[in-house]
Chains A and B, each alone.
Chain A
Amino acid sequence: MSNKSVLDVLTHSPGTSIGVFLVAIHLLSALFGFLFVPYGPTELAGVSLLAPGSPGFSLGTDVIGRDYLTRLVLGGRTSIFVAMLGVMIAVVSGGLIGVSAAYIGGFYDDVIMRLVDIKLSIPGILFVALCVVGFGRSIPVLTIVIAINYMPGALRIIRSQAMTQVPLDYVKSARLRGDSKLSVIVRELCPNVLEVVVVEFAIRTSSAILAVSALSFLGLGISPPTPDWGLMVYEGIQQIYFAPWLVLFPAFLISTLVIGLNFATDGLANALGLDAARGLD
């Protein structure tokens, strides 16, 4: 990757550019949207169920009269935060365990991989739902549960990448000069699985955002009155016949974010992966 600028990777193809653009807009609005919104997210600013285009409320209000534009702008923040933090924990811890399993091998590897198999045989959404029901509905619990849910998959992929590096001679050299296991894993192997880690992070984040939204919709994710798209879809569904925008707007935002992430990841994986295969990086 050294000869290739970040910009080259991000503008690899039109699809990637669109994806990166969508993700960038979402991230910016999540980070800085609060500076521009006209009302507070939970402020009862107007009359119930104003239609879009009403004076002072460009996207109308919801059932109890909160400004819909404000809630839409801020509605991605929490789920993006929970999903990204959760997946980051998953990928980093899964990565370290995966690389160590690949390097140390033997019994340790077997045990870890069987645990991974067991975890992967439990449907993800069921697992998360059970945990949320069991440990209570809060953002820390949700984050940790997301992390645990996404770790085994990431672990397995990163382990397989590390397996291709372990037999190489530079690892043998490190062992022979007496580097500790930790040193070999962190110094020698981890830099060589970095590409996979980045791609894993991006892929799993989009799926985690969907999962968090789905949980919120089911009433297991983020709790009211925090603005959240999944939650907003749930709240709007009762009014869908006479105020369909209450469902359509947040659903549209969830889709654009997930589609954007998928496009961006695809391009990223292609740009990184193909170069690795060609030995050009």
Chain B
Amino acid sequence: MPLAWMPLEALTEEIMDLLNVKNLSVGYYDRFKQIVPAVNDVSFQLQQGETLGIVGESGCGKSTLARALMGYCRPGSLIMDGEVRINNLNILQMNSLELLKLRGERIAMVPQNPLSSLTYHIKVGPQVDEILRIHQGMDSRSARNHTLELFSGTNLTDPELIYDRYPHEISGGQRQRVVIAGALACQPAIMILDEPTTALDTTTEMQVLQLVKELRKKRNMALVYITHDLTLTDYICEDVLVMLNGSVVEKGSVKRIFKVPQTDYAKMLISSIPRVDSENGSSSFRLLVPDREPLLSVKNLKFRYGRHGSLFATFKPKKEPFVVNNVSFDLERSETVGLVGESGSGKSTIANIICGLLSATSGDINFDRQSINKAGEKRSLDLRRRIQIIFQDPLSSLNPRHRIETILSRPLKIFFGLKGRVARDRMVELLESMELVPDHLSRFPRQLSGGQQQRIAIACAFAAKPDLILCDEVTSALDVSVQAKVLELLKAIQTKTGVACVFISHDLGVVKQVANRVIVLQKGVVAEAGFTKDVFAKPKDEYTQLLLAAASRQNDAPIPIHNLGDIQI
């Protein structure tokens, strides 16, 4: 229809942007009451049915931006400049009543952690009901029916059952679906998803993403998808904004950015994504010619949690299931083995048994021809020195009350009796190998960034000059770019010292990059084992295939939902 024939309202409707952000700047007050900008002069438009990804490292201002789109400022922050218009109404000038009406009905948000966005002590169904009662004025019966419809619309199996569950009684994936159902309740025109899948594991993440994609298509919503993971935007968005330190550094269609990134930062982001499907799965981690004699050999390892040590233990005769069941593998010197699996598959338990935090229920572990079945406290000093572990969360593995100097000095003193000058020289050397400066010695862990903390944790493990190092999800808590840096440093120090490494991760891309061989675990049982190249190229086991498919979202391969049915989500 030619423009001139359209009624006036329709005409303006056509020209108006659904969401128009113009020169938006948001700042935070620092401790000197000065405003520090967190979002800097951001502008973009969004039309009905469009999808926009916002990508950047943590701290780049993407969540602050998302909140500003809802007209919300965190305490201590301030919208400095600019406007956010939804259907041409500037929401930054609305009063709280108008905003209340707007939120949920025109624009809705799905936050990162579904456990903290649902109220603990209220069943999930009534929580969604409440939205409908308040915004749509429904009575409780029709609200309930509508909620059940929403639940089935978000592919929750058995909505009636879920309706009466408390948030902690359903899985992470189900929780996020409930939150999405809540966001959809009033049929908003715009939905903002703030890292909705970060707290989920790969397979669940995939299902949630697929759901979001379908729902968007069905309801023709506009979508703002915030993530630190560039690959996700490729799966779900048409356009993307790349943010760095609060400013938009690159803007355009996803396809274009992946093909021809223009800024250095975007190039760096793309190149630091560990690919499952990359051809030259970096060989730099592969090392030397491995020895014949295995350094570590694990045979028929079984483990289950007992209920020992409590006065009341005897009253509970129920046997726990095996967390690790009949796992066997060998590790040669200077070799890296990847342990892969979803959360709960027993990979961390294996690491804890090898390093002596837990004792195996049955099975044999041999390290350099001596049996190490006993728990950590009973092992010799030398043995403790030779096996070191690096944990997932660096903030928890470094005592928050100790300076880095104190933390690093402990292993040096205990294992080598180093003190004073000598110890300090060695610490500086260790820091330098991790590309940190001696200045950091006088800091507390909280004064360092996540990547620096993890590097300290690595330095601390290597301070003992170990023969075997267990890396338990060492990069999961880090951003992609930081992750690449940490992996690179880890690789360098491993090459230099020639230690063997058990690398535990749920991230197949990372494992592919570092491991010579992989062991895929499913519910405590080895699903598949072999050389990384072979397993990744031709996975034999169905579970491995699923994991790989979920990991290579790059390919946009849809996963048949029914296949995932038997995996715990």
Contact = CB atoms under 8 A, between A and B. Distances in A.
Interface string B390-411: 0111001111111000000011
A192 B401 contact: yes
A8 to B, nearest CB: 10
Given A2-B444, A106-B310, A175-B376, 16 more contacts: A107-B311, A168-B397, A170-B396, A170-B397, A173-B397, A173-B460, A175-B377, A176-B356, A176-B357, A176-B376, A176-B384, A176-B389, A178-B376, A191-B399, A191-B402, A192-B400
Contacts of B446: 2, 279, 281
A168 B398 CA distance: 9
A175 to B, nearest CB: 6
Contacts of B311: 107, 110
B528 to A, nearest CB: 29
B374 to A, nearest CB: 13
Q: Is the interface of A mostly helix, strand, loop or mixed?
A: helix
Closest 7 CB pairs of A and B: A106-B309, A169-B397, A191-B401, A169-B391, A110-B311, A170-B399, A168-B396
Contact of A175 (B357, B398, B411, B464): B357
Nearest to B444: A2
B400 A179 contact: no
B415 interface: yes
B356 to A, nearest CB: 6
B381 interface: yes
B396 A177 contact: no
Contact of B396 (A169, A175, A178): A169
Contacts of A194: 401
Nearest to A181: B377
Given A192-B401, A281-B446, A107 B309 contact: yes
A32 to B, nearest CB: 35
Contacts of B398: 170
A173 to B, nearest CB: 6
B355 interface: yes
A173 B389 CA distance: 8
A169 B397 CA distance: 4
Interface string A181-204: 000000010011010000000000
25 contacts: A105-B309, A106-B309, A106-B310, A107-B309, A107-B311, A110-B311, A169-B392, A169-B393, A169-B396, A170-B396, A176-B355, A176-B357, A176-B388, A176-B389, A177-B385, A177-B414, A177-B415, A178-B376, A178-B377, A178-B384, A178-B414, A179-B410, A192-B399, A192-B401, A281-B446
A134 to B, nearest CB: 31
A110 B411 CA distance: 33
A106 B121 CA distance: 30
A188 B399 contact: yes
B31 interface: yes
Contacts of A169: 391-393, 396-397
A3 interface: yes
Interface of A: 2-3, 105-107, 110, 168-170, 172-179, 188, 191-192, 194, 279, 281
Given A177-B384, A178-B384, A172 B391 contact: yes
B42 to A, nearest CB: 27
Nearest to A168: B396
Nearest to A188: B399
Contacts of A170: 396-399
Contacts of B356: 176
A170 B401 CA distance: 11
B414 A179 contact: yes
Interface in B407-450: 410-411, 414-415, 444, 446-447
A110 B312 CA distance: 9
Contacts of B389: 172-173, 176
B344 to A, nearest CB: 17
A35 B356 CA distance: 63
Nearest to A180: B377
Contacts of B411: 177
Interface string B268-311: 00000000000000000000000000000000000000001111
A174 B310 contact: no
Chain B interface extent, by class = 20 to 34
A241 B444 CA distance: 63
Contacts of A177: 384-385, 410-411, 414-415, 464
Nearest to B443: A2
A172 B357 contact: yes
A179 B401 CA distance: 17
A109 to B, nearest CB: 9
Interface string B341-382: 000000000000001110000000000000000001100010
A227 to B, nearest CB: 42
B393 to A, nearest CB: 7
A244 B267 CA distance: 84
A81 B283 CA distance: 70
Contacts of A176: 355-357, 376, 384, 388-389
A2 B384 CA distance: 33
A162 to B, nearest CB: 13
Contacts of A281: 446
A178 B381 contact: yes
A194 B357 CA distance: 27
Contacts of A279: 446
A6 B476 CA distance: 37
A66 B234 CA distance: 89
A177 B389 CA distance: 10
Nearest to A111: B311
Interface string B144-182: 000000000000000000000000000000000000000
Nearest to B385: A177
Interface string B309-321: 1110000000000
B305 to A, nearest CB: 14
B427 to A, nearest CB: 16
A173 B466 CA distance: 14
B470 to A, nearest CB: 10
Pick from A170, A192, A281 the residue with the most CB of B within 10 Å. A170
Contacts of B460: 173
A192 B399 CA distance: 8
B397 A3 contact: no
B118 to A, nearest CB: 20
Nearest to B414: A177
Contacts of B444: 2
A276 to B, nearest CB: 10
A178 B375 CA distance: 11
Contacts of A2: 444, 446-447
Contacts of B376: 175-176, 178
A2 B444 CA distance: 9
Contacts of B396: 168-170
A105 to B, nearest CB: 6
A3 B385 CA distance: 36
B320 to A, nearest CB: 17
A168 to B, nearest CB: 4
A174 B414 CA distance: 10
Nearest to A110: B311
A176 B464 CA distance: 12
A82 to B, nearest CB: 32
A202 B311 CA distance: 34
B549 to A, nearest CB: 32
Nearest to A279: B446
Contacts of A110: 310-311
Most buried by B among A107, A172, A173: A173
Nearest to B387: A176
A174 B410 contact: yes
Most buried by B among A172, A174, A194: A172
